[in-house]
Amino acid sequence: MQSAAEVNEASSLEGLIDLARYPLDDLDGAAGRELIDRCRRQLDADGCVVLKNFVPEAALARLERETERLSPEAHYNRTETNPYNSAADPEKPASHPVNRFDVRTNGFVAGDRIGDDTIIRRVYRNADFQRFIATVVGMEEIHPYADPLADLVINVLREGCQHPWHYDTNEFIVTMMTRQSRGGGRFEYAPGIRSPEGENVEGVEQVIDGDRTRLKSLDLQPGDLQIFFGRYSLHRVTLVEGDRERHTVIFAYAKEPGFIGRPERARRIFGRMAPVHERLREEGMQRRDALAD
C-alpha cells in the first residue's frame, strides 16, 4: 500500500513541468489567470497554442528516455488515406477531398504499454493539468478516455514516415514533443478550415492542391506542449528525414466520461482491439456530429 507521501509525489507536477512559467498549481492566481487568457487568445486566433519548454530542462532527458524505451512497442502501418480516414466516394468528382488519397506511414505505442510511473502518464492523470486544459478549451471539465489503447499514445515517426492531411476524431488534441527528427517532420495546419456547420470542400481542395495561403507551420521542439483544435483544422506532419525518430505524446481527453474509439480505428492504428472494442463492434456506435470522420 502506498504511503500518503508516495501518493502525493505520484500526483504532483513538481519537477515534471515548469511551474514557475506555467503555474498549473495556482490557476486562480494572477499568473495562472494570465496564462489561461493568453492561451485562449491564441486558440481563438488560429486554433492552436504552443507552450514552449513546458517540461523543464532537468526532466527533458528523462522524458526522452521514456519514449525512446517505449518506441519499439509501436505498431506501424502503411495505408493510403484521405483527410477523413474513410473510403472513396465514386459519386463525387476525383477532385473532391474524399477521393484524394496519400500514403500514411507511422507508428503508435498504445496506452496499455505506458506505465503509471512514467512522466507522461503522471501528467495525463493530473487533476491540475486536466483543469488547465479544460479551462483553456472552454469546457467545464474534461475526462480521460476510457479507451485502454487510445487514452495516452506515443506517435513514432521514423525516416520516410509521414502523416498526410487529416482531421482528428476528437474536437481538440493535446500533444507533447519529446524528440524531433533530424529533418522534415514539420507540423502544418489550416486553422478552422471547417466547422460543425460545414466541410468547406473547396477550401480543403485548395490546400491539398498546394495552396499555402492559409497554412501555418510550427517549429516544435522537445518539451513543447501543444493544444490544438484538430477536428476543425486540416493538418499534417511532413515526411521525416534522417536516422533520428520523431516522438510525440498524445494526451486524449473527451467532453464526457466513458469515451471509446471506434473498433476499426483501434485495429488500424494499434494492430489490435481491446475487449471493449470487441463489445462496441457488436453493439454499434454513433458519432454526435455530422462531420466526416
pLDDT range class, residue 51, cuts 50, 70, 90 = very high
On the question of pLDDT at 289 being above 80, the answer is no
- Across the beta sheet with 163-166, the strand order is 163-166, 234-237, 187-190, 216-218
Question: Taking the complete model, does pTM exceed 0.85, yes or no?
Answer: yes
pLDDT range class, residue 268, cuts 50, 70, 90 = confident
What's the pLDDT at 2? 44
**Pairwise CA distance, residues 41 & 43, whole Å:** 5
On the question of pLDDT at 236 being above 50, the answer is yes
Question: pLDDT by residue (tens digit) across 116-152?
Answer: 999 999 999 999 999 999 999 999 999 999 999 999 9
* Structural domains in the chain, sorted by start: 60-283 (2.60.120.620)
**Pairwise CA distance, residues 110 & 125, whole Å:** 16
Question: pLDDT by residue (tens digit) across 10-40?
Answer: 468 999 999 999 999 999 999 999 999 999 9
